[in-house]
Structure 1
Amino acid sequence: MTTEPTPKEQDYPLSPVPMDQRKSVWSMGLVLLGFTFFTATMWAGGSVGVAFDFSTMLMVLAVGNLLLGLYAAGLGYIAAKTGLNTALMSRFTFGELGSKLSDFILGFTQIGWYAWGTATMAILLVKLTGMPEGMTTPLMVLFGFAFCVTAFIGYQGLEWLSRVAVPAMIILVAVSMSIATSDAGGLSGLLAITPTNEMSVAAAITLVFGTFVSGGTQATNWTRFAKSGKTAVIATLLAFFLGNGLMTLIGALGALVYQQADIVDIMVAQGLATLGILMLFLNLWTTQDNTVYNFAVAGCNLIRTRRRKSVTIAGAAIGTVLAVLGMYEWLIPFLVLLGTFIPPIGGVIMASYFVGYKRQYPDLTTVTLPAFNFPGLAAYAIGSAAAYTSPWIAPIVGVLVAALSYSIILVVSEAVRERKAQVMGAI
């Protein structure tokens, strides 16, 4: 006879993290830095790097990553105060059944990125080492399941890997950036480089903010382990402003100096092929395990099970199948599109917590929630529509419009209820 695993064994997928299990700012900072050290983020930086002069590029990267950091920190603060992740917060915001919408969107996006990372590792390893093309599929299967080992262990596994990988990646990046600056002729050489492409500042900020906003929305899976709201905010800003900012800066510098945005191609151009392979492996592993962990947490809420480890393996299997089938090639445009519809989820959650619940969620184990929270769902739909049609910074528009819409709907609904009560009382 099998028994349901305890919450602690599975990293509390359906319940708040108790205070005696909370982590330090350094622990969370390392895990989140490993998550934000992501190859795809460098490509976003590369697109920005060839479109602006050096000083404007730095401004765009700073603004985009600061906005991303503030967005993720807002959700991180709520997670630390409540001990809940985004999937569980969604129950209060969208209802018991309505929250499954956000579970699906967040979970599918993460497993899509997992497929992309698994395929990328296998394809580039074959390319860089000269292995036979026939090795690509077996390597996809190998990496597809190997990358999930630390996620299977849980937060502790993610932290162990990050303690080794993050310092190593920082050193490798520092060496590469130093060589790139030297090859460009120093700071004066970088300042003299003229842009070769065109892009508006708004489009560039959207690209920087939107590429990793899905991860920022689900960073609560780790910030819920924070000892305080302050700890969560510091760790989140460290990762999403500085860490993600560093990744976009590397991509931008590579595009400027070598016309390459990926750190592996940059290191190959610098004669550091072996270090490039190591960087690729560490870079992807520290993101892949976090990604499949995100999928598992969303999946647990979707099907209401505490068996996070089983869902983790299932997620790795799905991602591996997608990679082997070649679906990662057409998944990316769809995943980027989903990036438009993910930020409003965070906007509604923040408005729900601060305005609707006055910074105090009721006990999740005793409260009776409606199947669908229509104000939350309506605000999400309005925010998504605004983001999709906005010519400005779409993800930020989605967050702000969703949060404002929820607050207005809530205030109007309360006013209508009070007016009805007054009328009924007069009768």
Structure 2
Amino acid sequence: MILLPREGEKDVSVVLTGAAGQGIQTAEEVLGKVLKRSGFHIFATREFMSRVRGGNNSTEIRVSSQRVRAFVDRIDLLVCLNKGLRDYLKGRIGDRTVIVGDAEEMGDELAGRGLRFFHVPLSSMAKELGNPVYANVVAAGIVAALFDVDFSLMEGFFEERFGARGGDVVSKNTEAARKGYEIARGLAKEISVKVDRDTVAASEYLLSGSDAVALGAIAGGCNMAFGYPMSPATGVLSFLSQRAEEFGIVTEQTEDEISAMNMALGGWYAGGRAMVTTSGGGFDLMSEGLSLAGIAESPMVIHLGQRPGPATGLATRTEQADLELALYAGHGEFPRAILAPGSIEEAFYMTQHAFNLAARYQVPVFVLTDQYLLDSSYNAPRLSFDGLKVEKHIVKTDKDYKRYLITDDGVSPRGIPGYGEGLIAFDSNEHG
């Protein structure tokens, strides 16, 4: 009998791998939510190639009896949907790794390594269900069953996730998961997974870094968000766009990053609270608008999700190399603030704070994240809104109002069009 976790460990590292288009991200979503709802602490992170189809992507889900906030280098349970394992994964496979996969799909890729391999005909089972993509849900069902997750949690997730797409989609996914559970009953004769549960985990949120930044923006009073799609920052704009009507947010996928920055400047001028979200190469195009915000003394919130450069670089990998870009971007000297969250909780609170800083001091404020933080998720205590305020720092103007009045604290009174009698200037020339 193979026992998981390994001796001395309190968690199991599960890695699912497959081609782009095989639904690895969906499998991660399914397992992350049902495992958490079943009472396990979760940390999940993904590694994927910059392509729409093919290749080999993977996601790691660390399942634990206590809080976990990072991935581990070992692989305890590897579930393969296709062949073509990347070298970095092969290097993490040890003689104690349990591998579940389709032998027909994988061929002799792992032959001769003396590994503990269990054949499951994922491909043929998915085809029987009417679509090869269902292999991901069969695989998710196997993993969930090995952790003794109640099947009703799977059914509830599919209704929640796919209900709007019709009953057939829900029933097909449910059937695929049930097949996975049936397979797991056979595997359970040779594989035993025993991770203690914690009822606290079941009641907590499962949040990604992108979720946290977007929620922080909402808590900060954000009512405008603009950007041009660029990994890894796109998830923030997607989250806000999906909830735009609910929270009264104007979102726009602009034609380029120059337009995004200028729209945000116009939003703040009119009294809105705007954010742009981008990555390094996209932010390069925003630098002229950043200088305009600097001299016009306009608030601005910039979410800069870092990835390796220069130029296109490695579009789906992580790096923390844009600090100096954020510090010195734009021509001329002007004040700015940079907030760099190190956790999902900090991403929420710092993004909320960024809007108040920008409004109070009338400066650009950066929220500096990276691909690893944005694309990772874990269960976290419920975020507290207690004490969080939306600080507008807007004055009602009179006919003698001066936008760039010299004051003792160096911050001029900020008015907006239509609120009072004053003329609201927005000047790109030096003023005094």
**Structure index of larger Rg:** 2
TM bin, normalised by shorter chain, reads under 0.3
Higher strand proportion (structure 1 or 2):
2
Q: Which has the higher contact order (CA 8 A, sep 6+)?
A: 1
TM-score, normalised via structure 1 length: 0.26
TM-score, L = length of structure 2: 0.26
